Structure 1
């Protein structure tokens, strides 16, 4: 297995700092100290704290998208694809709770940053890939008729809401314990 890159070390250190003292209170120096990177290396890879924030956000969403992509290669039914949208999300959040908390609270900041367009493009490609995976099933009329922009909220909305509450410590039930239930709820909500 390959050793993490200096860039990965910096992102990992940044996440730890953001979780420990908050995004606003974290300084570039704190990230440098925690990562062991030189200031030149940090600025070479990122340039400033806002770019570190955006890179960390984009890396997390890309990791989830890659997990989903791998799953689509193995999902061969409408039901499997819909359930995959939920289970992949849950699996990623459970495996990366600090990263997930960071992402949930940083979207607006990244959208407003100089890398906001990169985020919008990554999201566009992600949703396009989901649509491609589902298009054949739509053509077979295996889903309820609903506005396309409503479909994603119906599928992932309950899971996203429960995940946010779980990440905030507002649930007694573990998110992973609801994995199959939430996947079934998503499927029942959209199947024709």
Structure 2
């Protein structure tokens, strides 16, 4: 198992602080104490708290995107690809509930912050990769005629909505128990015929 970097340790310490006391109430000193890093190391890697927030956000969505790309390399059908979009999302949220909660609640702040353009670029790249993976299936008529910019929302929307409620403690059913259901709902929503 690879040893985590100082940067990763700082991000995980920040996530723990954000989870315990909230993003706004967390100070650089709290992150320093939690991570064991020096102030110099924090500023060397990030510069300020807003950049820590942005880096943590980008790392989370980047991890999901990487898992998705690895899955696409093995998926052999339109159905497998669509279901993969949902299963990877659900699995990532279940494995990382604090990080997922942070990502769901911090998007606007990150978009408006110093790494906003970096986030927009990462999102464009992510959606372009999904579009490219699905292009041959789309051309072969595997999907309903859905505008390209709506496709991901139709596929992931129900799982994402339930995940928000699950993360907030508003559901009785565990998100993991709904994985297969949401995968099938996504496929049924977009498949042709």
Q: TM-score, normalised by structure 2?
A: 0.98
**Structure-to-structure mapping, 1:90-101, within 5 angstroms:** 90-101=90-101
Aligned to 1:178: 178
Aligned to 1:62: 62
Separation (CA, whole Å) in 2 of partners of 1:150 and 1:2: 38
Separation (CA, whole Å) in 2 of partners of 1:39 and 1:56: 18
Separation (CA, whole Å) in 2 of partners of 1:126 and 1:147: 17
Aligned to 1:156: 156
Structure 2 runs not aligned, ≥5 long: none
Separation (CA, whole Å) in 2 of partners of 1:128 and 1:91: 22
Aligned to 2:72: 72
Query: Secondary structure of 1:136's partner?
Result: helix
Query: Secondary structure of 2:73's partner?
Result: helix
1:149: how far off? 1.6
Aligned to 1:8: 8
Separation (CA, whole Å) in 1 of partners of 2:25 and 2:111: 20
Aligned to 1:134: 134
1:109: how far off? 0.4
Separation (CA, whole Å) in 1 of partners of 2:88 and 2:133: 15
Aligned to 2:53: 53
1:141: how far off? 0.8
Task: Provide Cα deviations, 1:133-189, integer angstroms capped at 9, x if missing partner.
Answer: 100000001100121222111111101000000000000000000001100000000
1:44: how far off? 0.0
Separation (CA, whole Å) in 2 of partners of 1:151 and 1:7: 35
1:2: how far off? 2.0
Separation (CA, whole Å) in 1 of partners of 2:131 and 2:32: 40
Query: Secondary structure of 1:151's partner?
Result: helix
Structure 1 runs not aligned, ≥5 long: none
Aligned length: 192
